[in-house]
Chains A and B, each alone.
Chain A
């Protein structure tokens, strides 16, 4: 038996040089920026740090970012699940096209992903606000009537007001739409290879045992993909909160109203408020760290789960 270490044939100095180079790159490109964010954020003390996070414009940016994520993550989870189920469990015409379409938001530049919404919903676009108002007028009437009702009126008030003056770009709905579009593929992309690899054997077995569609989904499919699904949701959420390009195009940059956290950071930087900008950046950096932490936990659990089954 030969010593297993003999597999590495390079001489010791070469190995040391290569490892040093790799570690240096890692430090320079990954750890240094992360350190810089926190150092710059805390450079002018804890009070300045906290004040920049609790200031009105920052709070509004945090709220808007959370709202965009709260809408896009559930929607895209639902969509990703359905899409993955469809393209991995059924064979049909146009399946390849559908898979390509799911990837579209990955393929186009975020600037384009924002500009298309301006082209569609802008004042000189295909569906300008005036046309939308006209098209949505019947719904606006219904919603206004609903808003008048005694019991659930409050629920419809916002909707009715929006339908009367429907705006997408340069307002919250536009930011949500852009975010949904950008984060569209994350869950589906995570699930498709997983479900493809798992195959339909267990589900087919369930069918032969007489289980119905929903029952198969909840009892067989979902337990098999749950870790992959969670991982997809996590990535989807990270991108929804961190997206800059597409959101920047449709935002209008109205302070305290249509700035998301990444946009607010840019504004602060341009105002020479470096500490405040980096204080807000720490929130995004923390989001990244939490995402990475959860990801490795998920990988460990799913690894154990897979190992336990065999």
Chain B
């Protein structure tokens, strides 16, 4: 009796597996058009934004073309996500923190062409962001600008530029200010950067980790943060923090791209391209502003000017000679970050 029962249970469990898969497949075949599915592999702070974009785009696509469309999201540190796509995570589109992380998809496996960044307007960055300071309520250490970060007794929170995209933008923004302040005297700039990182008590690996360190574990006096992440902290921890705009910052351009090799295989090139183009429409630009990304559309950016004020910003291309050069000079082994951090 007993053996019979156990064998039956096992057999039932094994038989149930293929049928699970089948029912999932046939779920969406109600209307006449194609059943499409997109996977957007993105970085950490974009989840809330893309959740809304996906729903809006899906409605529009289905109304125009019929059929069904499902958009899946995956989020994580930008560099880690790029690695996963190289290892076989079949992203139809990537929306990462910096161009360097999309460049590797071409370098490693030719998943997209070398000139991917020219395929969409404005360096393939439909929205931008910048680096701001988040301080404790009332700004007790009176932190106004980059000069205040190297004062004695000020603790600065930033992730590790070796592993985090946001941290690289932080680093370059600080560098840009020092470069101007000390009239390109590299010895003085390096000295400033050394003193800045002496004030960093915790070097997390990613932006979300640093946010938790600052906002939840309450470590540090000032947090160098993505602008949109800074507003998210205000929302999640109301009344505990303030945002300070420094005298100068950096224009961060998080780029997007169709992973052409994957879309060709999935038959999704058309919908993936339409999805990324949709990010430039007024509707999506408004959603970007709502989630504290800076819309590229000037009129719509104007509507959010109270929250996202204009400030002088350097750019990676004109001030640092592009990502490839900046990466090599500052962040690769033996770059300026290694030099200033070892001095510590």
Q: A74-B13, A254-B74 are in contact. Are A157 and B22 (CB under 8 A)?
A: yes
Main SS at interface, chain A: helix
Number of interface residues of B (CB under 8 A): 35
Q: Are A121 and B25 in contact (CB under 8 A)?
A: no
Q: Give the CA-CA distance A121 to B312 in the complex, in Å.
A: 48
Q: Give the CA-CA distance A252 to B232 in the complex, in Å.
A: 25
Q: Are A253 and B39 in contact (CB under 8 A)?
A: no
Q: Give the CA-CA distance A272 to B47 in the complex, in Å.
A: 12
Q: A254-B73, A255-B73, A267-B75 are in contact. Are A123 and B18 (CB under 8 A)?
A: no
Q: Are A123 and B109 in contact (CB under 8 A)?
A: yes
CB distance from A143 to the nearest CB of B (A): 10
Interface string of B81-125 (1 = CB under 8 A from A): 000101111100000000000000000110000000000000000
Q: Give the CA-CA distance A60 to B15 in the complex, in Å.
A: 20
Main SS at interface, chain B: helix
**B3 an interface residue at 8 Å Cβ cutoff?**
yes
CB distance from B111 to the nearest CB of A (A): 9
Q: A170-B88, A272-B232 are in contact. Are A155 and B73 (CB under 8 A)?
A: no
Q: Are B87 and A123 in contact (CB under 8 A)?
A: yes
**A71 an interface residue at 8 Å Cβ cutoff?**
yes
Q: Which residues of A contact B86 (CB under 8 A)?
A: 123-124
Q: Which residues of A contact B76 (CB under 8 A)?
A: 253
CB distance from B14 to the nearest CB of A (A): 8
Q: Give the CA-CA distance A64 to B176 in the complex, in Å.
A: 48
Q: Which residues of B contact A74 (CB under 8 A)?
A: 9-10, 13-14
CB distance from B73 to the nearest CB of A (A): 5
CB distance from B164 to the nearest CB of A (A): 14
CB distance from B208 to the nearest CB of A (A): 5
Q: Are A124 and B108 in contact (CB under 8 A)?
A: yes
In A179-200, the 8 Å CB interface with B consists of none
Q: Which residues of A contact B3 (CB under 8 A)?
A: 218
Nearest 8 Cβ contacts at the A-B interface: A158-B21, A122-B87, A123-B88, A252-B89, A158-B18, A170-B89, A272-B236, A254-B74
Supply 16 further A-B pairs (C-beta < 8 A) apart from A158-B21, A167-B90, A271-B48: A67-B17, A71-B13, A123-B87, A124-B86, A154-B22, A155-B19, A157-B22, A157-B25, A159-B21, A162-B21, A252-B84, A252-B89, A253-B74, A255-B72, A270-B44, A270-B208
Q: Point out residues on B near A: beta carbons under 8 Å.
A: 2-3, 9-10, 13-22, 25, 39, 44, 47-48, 72-76, 84, 86-90, 108-109, 208, 232, 236
Q: Point out residues on A near B: beta carbons under 8 Å.
A: 67, 70-71, 74, 78, 118, 121-125, 128-129, 154-159, 161-162, 167, 169-170, 218, 222, 252-257, 267, 270-272
